[in-house]
Amino acid sequence: MDQKQMVGVIELEEMEFYAYHGCFKEEQVVGNRFLVKVTLETDCTVAAETDDISDALNYVSVYEIVREQIMQTSHLLEHLNKRIIDGIYQKFPELLKATVKVSKMNPPMGGQMKCVSVTFSR
């Protein structure tokens, strides 16, 4: 039987954290809410057949990578985002593609704004 590759898209959506990122001193003291979305494309062929977590991309590990990186202060969302995506690829080098979106909620922009976001893909 010819088995075809099953490429899966795994999304961890609206992970919420309170952290201390920003260029302004106040942001690093007061902190802010951040939302993170991670989208991963990976070969799910074996996991789909075996129903065994050891054959799958472990979502808990991805969450822990995000949590660990977001707890380390950065001035820029770009820097934080790169650290997250680097950490994910370090743990899961077999990934076909990863996209990470980091949103700072209610940024101090001098006006009303829901969020500002930076998205990286590799």
Read off the pLDDT band of 24 (50, 70, 90): confident
Closest CA to 15 of 69, 57, 53: 69
Q: Note if 104 is an active site residue.
A: yes
Give CA angle at 62 (121, 76), nearest 5°: 50
65-87 in b/e form (b: 16+ CB < 10 A) is bbeebbeeebeebeebbbbbbbb
Read off the pLDDT band of 1 (50, 70, 90): very low
Task: Please give the model's pTM, rounded to 2 decimal places.
Answer: 0.91
Read off the pLDDT band of 115 (50, 70, 90): very high
Average pLDDT over residues 17-33: 88
Predicted confidence (pLDDT) at residue 116 exceeds the cutoff of 60:
yes
Q: Which of 4, 37, 97, 104 is catalytic?
A: 104
Give the pLDDT confidence of 57-104 residue by residue, as tens digits. Answer: 999 999 999 999 999 999 999 999 999 999 999 999 999 999 999 999
**CATH: 1.25.40.340, 3.30.1130.10, 3.40.50.880, 3.30.420.40. Which one for 7-121?**
3.30.1130.10
